[in-house]
Amino acid sequence: MNHTPPTHSGFGTLAIHAGQPPEATTGAVMTPIFQTSTYVQESPGKHRGYEYSRTDNPTRTAYQSCVAALEGAQHALAFSSGLATTDAILHTLRTGDHVISCDDVYGGTFRIFDKVFKKMGIEFSFVDLADLNQAEKAFRPNTKLLWMETPTNPMLKILDIQTLSSLAKKRGVLTVVDNTFMSSYFQKPLQLGADIVVHSVTKYMNGHSDVVGGVLATNNSQVYTELKFLQNAVGAVPAPMDCFLVMRGLKTLHVRMERHEKNAKEIAHFLEGHPKVERVIYPGLESHPQHALAKKQMSGFGGMITFFLKGDLAAARRFLENVQLFSLAESLGGVESLIEHPAIMTHASIPAETRKILGIHDNLIRVSIGIEEVSDLRADLEQALKEV
Ligand SMILES: *Cc1c(COP(=O)(O)O)cnc(C)c1O
């Protein structure tokens, strides 16, 4: 019996079965955690495909195959964090190369670009890629990579993956899409023309706030070969236990994402109608300036909401100190609801001037809506808003 699901299987089937046939020697239905660093060889150089776990590990192989299936990709590579994944991709560049990045990129991504790779002579332009004119003007003869994150963080701007990818392709520039906010379930960047899709699996892909990890997927064999070399040569690989945990998380990705979205839609509407809230940003709201584009390129709107309180930093503090069910914490995408203050927390590494330009003001709050009972989430926000 062949336990490999056909590639045209539905998302939920792939999430549960892709890359994970029962284990050959025992029939174990769950892929074992191959907690080993090395593998016995029959004769020097003669082995069963595994020689050392930095290079390859069976638990990681299964996990990578599963992610590849979910992204509709030929190849996937896993790393020890989302930023280690970014690091590997940037290592394909050379001194003098130029990267175009969206301006309100994840804080840690901005930091590795600005503080690590700039020092090595790689040039960066941070551009509002929602403005296609600005995007087009940003290309230079030495541009090698177009880096986008959509929806952006925390302003939830939507970038047109298809148009931006084709602008890049015309110039021989590779496009990378950070798909962390939508997960493989709601957005398929490779189908829209991107060359590489990346995730911080720390967020929705694993979904249980108990692993830090990253993964990338691509259909470009040359890019894959180069990145596979870097995965081993630089060595930021995930441990077998983490691979197992992310694979377990992936099995419920489709179910979780549906519920995240259902809850988020209801909370977004609630906040939009609340007198103490100035403005709500959620791609699923008609009021989102790019709602139509969001509908076109995503199959759902996700679980992230950004909103502005009426008031100043003190009001925001008071609100955040009074939530009870929402945990005041960085990160997102777990089954539990989290709330945070980007200016002080996740986006502190972005200079105050830039934050101002991007609209990350002191009354801005970001929530990651979990999959609890939505009535409880709503009641918690309601009582905390009363304290403002
Ligand atoms: C968290 C995050 C990252 C970085 O991932 P880590 O796993 O924390 O290294 C990159 N991009 C986005 C959009 C993120 O939310």
Per-residue DSSP letters for 48-60? SS-SBTTT--HHH
What is the C-alpha separation between 373 and 337, in angstroms, rounded?
Answer: 11
Whether 340 is in the pocket of ligand 1, judged by its Cβ within 6 Å, is: no
pLDDT above 90 covers a percentage of the chain that reads 93
48 carries an active-site annotation: no
The answer, yes or no, to whether residue 347 has pLDDT greater than 90, is no
The answer, yes or no, to whether residue 146 has pLDDT greater than 90, is yes
The answer, yes or no, to whether residue 1 has pLDDT greater than 50, is no
Do the Cβ atoms of 335 and 370 come closer than 8 Å?
A: yes
106 carries an active-site annotation: yes
> Which of 90, 101, 109 has most ligand 1 atoms within 8 Å of CB, for mutation?
109
What is the C-alpha separation between 2 and 6, in angstroms, rounded?
Answer: 10
CA distances from 34 to 20, 53, 72, 193, 358 (A): 13, 9, 26, 35, 45
Return the ligand 1 atom nearest residue 213 CA: 7
292-338 pLDDT tens trace? 999 999 999 999 999 999 999 999 999 999 999 999 999 999 999 99
What is the C-alpha separation between 378 and 381, in angstroms, rounded?
Answer: 5
Mean pLDDT of the chain: 96
Distance of CA 182 from the midpoint of ligand 1 (Å): 13
Diameter of the chain by CA atoms? 74
Distance of CA 151 from the midpoint of ligand 1 (Å): 13
Do the Cβ atoms of 365 and 320 come closer than 8 Å?
A: yes
The answer, yes or no, to whether residue 272 has pLDDT greater than 70, is yes
Beta-sheet strand order (sheet of 304-309): 277-281, 304-309, 364-368, 338-340, 327-328
pLDDT at 104: 85
The answer, yes or no, to whether residue 107 has pLDDT greater than 90, is no
Domain architecture of the chain: domains with CATH:
11-250 (3.40.640.10), 253-385 (3.90.1150.10)
Catalytic residue among 39, 54, 169, 262: 54
Which of the four pLDDT bands, split at 50, 70 and 90, describes residue 348? confident
Q: What would the mean pLDDT of 93-97 be, rounded to a whole number? A: 98
Do the Cβ atoms of 242 and 373 come closer than 8 Å?
A: no
54 carries an active-site annotation: yes
Q: Which two tokens stand for residue 331?
A: 């990160």
45-59 pLDDT tens trace? 999 999 999 999 999
Do the Cβ atoms of 333 and 314 come closer than 8 Å?
A: no
- E strands, the chain, are 75-79, 98-102, 123-127, 143-149, 174-178, 196-200, 214-218, 277-281, 304-309, 327-328, 338-340, 364-368
pLDDT at 132: 96
Q: Picking from 103-107, 113-117, 126-130, 157-161, which range would have the lowest pLDDT averaged per residue?
A: 103-107
Q: Which two tokens stand for residue 5?
A: 């699901």
Q: Is 382 helix (H, G, I), strand (E, B) or coil?
A: helix
Give the strand pairing for 123-127 and 327-328: unpaired
What is the C-alpha separation between 28 and 19, in angstroms, rounded?
Answer: 14
Residue among 20, 79, 312 at smallest CA distance from 215: 79
pLDDT at 3: 60
At residue 311, what is the residue type? G
pLDDT at 5: 82
Catalytic residue among 63, 106, 204, 224: 106
Contacts of 59 (CB under 8 A, 6+ apart): 31, 32, 33, 34, 240, 243, 244, 247
Please tell me what DSSP assigns to residue 161.
H
204 carries an active-site annotation: no
